[in-house]
Amino acid sequence: MSVPNHVAIILDGNGRWAKAKGLPRTAGHVQGAKTLEQICEDAYHMGINYLTVYAFSTENWTRPDSEVAMLMELLRNYMKNSIKRAQKNNMCVRVIGDKSGLAEDLRTSIEKLEQATQYNTGLHFQIAINYGGRDEIRRAVVKLADKVAAGVLKPEEIDDKKIAAELDTAGLPDPDLLIRTSGEQRISNYLLWQASYAELYFTSVFWPDFDKNELAKAVEVYEKRDRRYGLVEEE
């Protein structure tokens, strides 16, 4: 089997990485963001075309205020500082999740980055922010219900394709491989609809230590799996 077209990653273990080094948790997030920049380049060089990462979940708001503020600042800086690099690498960046729950200036920076990179044909990089799989499906159901109420859609016309078209990931292929770092073996509300047939790969490596070799290991395991698509249509 060949290199996965779409890899999704649950970036986990930043806090434990920092703790093990006697550093504040925030240092783990800073290093995690650096790791992510490098992995975007490595993934594309390995032949991966789509990468979708879980940066901030709908549940992450319950973290201490100072940590939430720090993560938002990191995301703000990323949106502002990565336009140039994204252009240089021909990377198309898109944010998934409920953007209405984000600060206005962050939403503006996201829009600028998305618009500036929308026609790039290199790596398609999706960042999940204020994202929850159940919340995404709920928002899609509301949109479909609105269409039914407006008389432009019949309930019996709702099929998998119509649902997928209302998700934040509309137009993207489903992930082939879902990686979670740091030893946890849960999906934690990530891409619940899209990852239905994804191969799962768990590693004990903390996210800040995840590198090209670790990604190559995950891809190698994926390539050895006997992948059955079930009812999924191959693109």
**Catalytic residue positions, numbered:** 12, 60
Judged by CB, which is closer to ligand FPP: 97, or 175? 97
Q: What angle do CA 115, 120, 126 make, to 5 degrees?
A: 70
Chain residues that interact with ligand FPP, rule: CB under 6 A: 11-16, 29, 32-33, 36, 55, 60, 71, 74-75, 78, 127, 182, 207
CB of 171 to ligand FPP, least distance (A): 21
Residue among 39 and 219 whose Cβ is closer to ligand FPP: 39
Query: How many angstroms separate the CA atoms of 150 and 177, rounded?
Result: 38
Q: Are 84 and 53 in contact (CB under 8 A)?
A: no
- Work out how close the CB of 137 gets to ligand FPP at its nearest, in angstroms, rounded to a whole number: 21
Residue 7 CA to residue 5 CA, distance in Å, equals 7
CA dihedral (142, 148, 153, 154) positive or negative: positive
Degrees, nearest 5: CA angle 229-4-185: 80
* Closer of 126 and 194 to ligand FPP (Cβ): 126
* Closer CB to ligand FPP, 86 or 144, in the complex: 86
User: To which residue do tokens 């979670």 refer?
Assistant: 180
Least Å distance, CB 226 to ligand FPP, is: 31
Residue with smallest beta-carbon separation from ligand FPP: 15
Contact 87, 112 (CB under 8 A): no
Q: Smallest distance from the beta carbon of 53 to ligand FPP, in angstroms?
A: 7
